[in-house]
Structure 1
């Protein structure tokens, strides 16, 4: 077994800032990431600086881009990344869309991830 594999925490839940915790993991050490990050403006977890409470949907996208960049570093070249996201309706134009309009948050993130070099293999719509 390699030293990198020995350094990986197994059977544990890693809590904390996602970018910081991913920084603790060795590069190229993860086979699969499955995540459902906080949707934009839908839940307050009561944690200062949490994802999802940004003022504008594009700020939310930028925060998630930072997380995905950290994930890209730890993923093996054959690794996969599964992302579960939902959308929400704007309550005010300052959030990024007219009131009562879908924000297109997942689509905005998808386009940003393509710009960052991610390969999008599939998209599933439920509901």
Structure 2
């Protein structure tokens, strides 16, 4: 009986460690080829994305990187800092928290949009 209980506990511990190890996610990098800088700021990571501003609307804008991949950034409350100062066709740097993807909707907050040099 003691052997059976010991084997059951060992099996449970191994299963729990495998589930914990396989459940981790790699956050921040969305696979884009553009230059991305990330800094730890409290519990959120701040990242920068540089590309060409292709479209600008009241609730979103689209930036395309040098490889031709387009990324959509949305905002709900107010326009991000600097968005009014850039125009379509400008090379811009977007500073944001969250993750960007070509296929998934933007999940995060746009902090600023500045013209890239």
- The TM-score with structure 1 as length reference comes to 0.25
